[in-house]
Homo-oligomer: A and B are copies of this chain.
Amino acid sequence: MSKQNRRAEVLVAGGGLAGFCAALSAAEAGAEVTLIEKASSYGGSTVQSGGGFAFAGTEAQKALGVEDSVDLLRADLMKCGNGKNDPDLTDVYVERQLDAYEWLQRHGVEFGPVTLASSMSVPRAHSVDPRQMMEALRKRISQVQRIAYRTECAAQRIRPGRSHDDPVTVAVCAKDGPFEFCVTSGVVIATGGFTQSEELIDRYAPHLRAALRGGGEANTGDGFLMGLALGADHRDVGYLKGTFGFSLNSYLGTARDDRPILIVSMYDGSIIVNRAAKRFVNESISYKEIGEACLKQPEAVGFQILDGRIMAMSKPVPNPCNYDLAEKNGLMVRADTLAELAERLRIDPQIFEQTVVRYNDDIRAGIDTEFGRASLSGNFGVPPTIEKPPFYGYPCATALIASYCGLAVDRAMRLVNPYGEHIPRVFAAGEVVGGFHGQDYSSGSALGKAAIFGRLAGGNAAATTRAK
């Protein structure tokens, strides 16, 4: 077969969780599958995730005495998305989630404790080690003869056939140059989001220009653009948001690695100051909103300021409250006085002391005259003064960790145009799919979506009548 015209029944683009599930499911449905990954290693955004799946009604929950249901899961998802979620995709998720849970276990994925996470009415975050999960699935893929897998091979264009009966062509760029696949059943776009694309962030969320970026390094929106060029519609692009509290690992010069972590000590009582050593926000509001405010500060930097009393509330779980570990890893600095802390944070000590003194006076008087902080979080708790040495400072910023929005698909994971008509032989799954999350992301739904939609897309691609 010439290099210019390789054939595949199913081509899956992207080696994250969605792509792996799609490739395995397509092969299980009997198709000859080619799985390609742009980067030199697999895992994409998946291996950067916290490792939680939102599943409802599992044995693991029952063992804990947790009563959960498909209806409660659906209601929680819709509530978190503020009703802006696509109800069809929400249905697909809740109908197929238990099956995906069992399928993942059968394929060697090891599940740990079930915990409560944000936007959940009951504990339903089923934890995994994302690396163990991807290694287990990778091992399965290597055992399936019908799957050919190659890395450093990026899908670049999908060209439709002249009619529904014709194969589609996928142009790829590989280590050894460009070539094309003639795909006779279906293509699955599982290339992830676009957190690494300056152009697309600028297009949809220019206010996030200064945000740190998470997500897979190869997540430059290739699949999203391929879909647009085919006439696919897009969803949820107006809901891109940053999250406040990601470490600036280079700031202190003491970090033990370059992996940003999330610390959220405000809700235990810390204040946040900017590089001018001044507060800039009511620290009790959501860390998404604080994220917006932080982006408008000098250099888009904020410092969480803790005293000894807040530090004593450090706990290993959830991770964002593990202040001890942040200090141990060189991401948080300690000092005996406020002035010394300011020096170490390279902010003005005099102004910093004035800021803290004014805040403490306000808190004692029962009214935050600057920003109206009246609680720890929401309407809960009373903010403490910041006065018990030692003091701690944590330089951090707003990060965009996933794009969540993306291409429009129908219940079968087929790309659809603005009129809801599907685009022949082209499917999508995982982070590149838009419309499922709605206005806000709820914990555990990104990995869940990758597995559930990936399985469905792969199976349906395999089941599509072969082109002549």
Contact = CB atoms under 8 A, between A and B. Distances in A.
Contacts of A293: none
Nearest to A419: B229
Interface stretch (A200-208, A347-355, A445-453): A200-208
Interface stretch (A101-109, A235-243, A306-314): A235-243
Interface string A50-81: 00000000000000000000000000000000
Interface in A71-102: 84
Contact of A237 (B162, B237, B239, B439): B237
A230 B231 contact: yes
A191 to B, nearest CB: 14
Contacts of A234: 203
Given A162-B162, A228-B231, A230-B231, A204 B237 contact: yes
Nearest to A235: B203
Contacts of A417: 228-229
Contacts of A419: 157, 225, 229
Contact of A203 (B206, B230, B238): B238
Nearest to A163: B162
Nearest to A240: B238
A418 interface: yes
A233 interface: yes
Interface in A211-270: 225, 228-231, 233-239
Nearest to A203: B238
Nearest to A221: B418
B205 A238 contact: yes
Residue with the greatest number of chain B CB neighbours at <10 A, chosen from A84, A202, A229, A233: A229
Contacts of A235: 203
Contacts of A157: 419
Given A157-B419, A162-B162, A419-B157, A439 B206 contact: yes
A162 B228 CA distance: 19
Nearest to A156: B419
Contacts of A202: 84, 238
Contacts of A439: 206
A225 B231 CA distance: 10
